[in-house]
């Protein structure tokens, strides 16, 4: 047997389609205010600020700030590119909550429901607790707990994020598996001894602009959470 007790999931890109969701939510919020934007370009620009904004925390230049706070600053940074330098604060705050209303890829809810029978499940995301909780309610993610950046008070790929998740579930590193659509996440987890599963999301950044294959050796490589359940669950194998 594989000896895995807990599965930890990356969320943005791996479980939810942040790009078309942000495009839809931001267009939907701005249209009634008479503002038309290219929603996908807006989503891409906002997401492009994501990794750089976390570096300030990872390096210790900025005390831990949850992702909602970073998203809000990143929004301020990109609004001028879309001719929205004068957008009012209330609308900015409303836009920021678009990240709490992302839709899952279609295979996720049923796949997680199957995995839950055999494993403890938790997001190990850079998203904060309230953001994860809102996505869970919206998409029926059956989490046992929410671990990840806000729990660790640092951002992936810093080791404490993965290790505090495993510790919270009483797992040795090898009893936990990180599930992600991004090679970098899995490289960091594997370096600490966690097992790894790569889920292909080849369209994450638009058609053909996502990782179709893992760029590092992994324990499992699948095209959906349902396929991961088929591979991992004893009950499915009988």
- Write down the least CB distance from residue 35 to a copy of itself, Å: 26
- Write down the least CB distance from residue 15 to a copy of itself, Å: 16
What does the binding site for a copy of itself look like in residue numbers (CB under 8 A)? 68, 120, 128-130, 132-133, 136-137, 143-147, 150-151, 168-170
Query: Which of 5, 231 has the CB closer to a copy of itself?
Result: 5
Query: Which of 109, 145 has the CB closer to a copy of itself?
Result: 145
- Round to whole Å and give the CA distance between 77 and 42: 12
With CA atoms as reference, report the closest residue to 199 among 219, 176, 228: 228
- Write down the least CB distance from residue 170 to a copy of itself, Å: 5
Contact 112, 123 (CB under 8 A): no
Contact 99, 131 (CB under 8 A): yes
- Write down the least CB distance from residue 65 to a copy of itself, Å: 11
Which tokens hold the place of 180? 């992600």
Query: Which of 105, 151 has the CB closer to a copy of itself?
Result: 151
- Write down the least CB distance from residue 124 to a copy of itself, Å: 12
Query: Which of 145, 173 has the CB closer to a copy of itself?
Result: 145
- Write down the least CB distance from residue 122 to a copy of itself, Å: 8
Contact 153, 147 (CB under 8 A): no
- Centre a 10 Å sphere on the Cβ of residue 152 and count the other Cβ atoms it contains: 22
Q: Which residue shows structure tokens 């796949």?
A: 111
Query: Which of 14, 128 has the CB closer to a copy of itself?
Result: 128
Query: Which of 22, 129 has the CB closer to a copy of itself?
Result: 129
7 forms beta bridges with 121, 177
Long-range contacts of 36-45 (CB under 8 A, 24+ apart): 37/82, 37/84, 38/82, 40/206, 41/82, 42/78, 42/82, 43/18, 43/19, 44/19, 44/205, 44/206, 45/78, 45/81, 45/82
């Amino acid at each position: 047997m594989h000896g895995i007790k807990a599965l930890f999931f990356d969320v943005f890109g791996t479980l939810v389609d942040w790009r078309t969701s942000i495009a839809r939510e931001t267009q939907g919020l701005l249209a009634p205010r008479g503002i038309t934007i290219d929603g996908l370009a807006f989503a891409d620009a906002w997401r492009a600020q994501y990794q750089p904004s976390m570096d300030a925390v990872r390096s210790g230049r900025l005390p831990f700030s949850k992702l909602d706070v970073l998203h809000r600053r990143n929004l301020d940074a990109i609004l001028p590119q879309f001719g929205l330098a004068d957008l009012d604060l209330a609308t900015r705050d409303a836009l920021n909550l678009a990240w709490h209303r992302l839709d899952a890829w279609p295979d996720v809810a049923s796949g997680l429901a199957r995995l839950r029978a055999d494993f403890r499940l938790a997001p190990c995301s850079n998203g904060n607790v309230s953001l994860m909780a809102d996505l869970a309610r919206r998409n029926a993610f059956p989490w046992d707990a929410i671990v990840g950046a806000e729990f660790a008070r640092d951002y992936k790929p810093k080791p404490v994020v993965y290790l505090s998740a495993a510790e919270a579930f009483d797992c040795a590193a090898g009893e936990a598996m990180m599930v992600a659509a991004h090679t970098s996440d899995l490289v960091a987890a594997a370096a600490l001894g966690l097992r790894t599963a790569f889920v292909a999301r080849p369209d994450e950044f638009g058609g053909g602009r996502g990782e179709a294959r893992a760029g590092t050796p992994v324990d499992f490589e699948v095209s959906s959470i349902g396929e991961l359940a088929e591979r991992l669950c004893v009950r499915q194998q009988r």
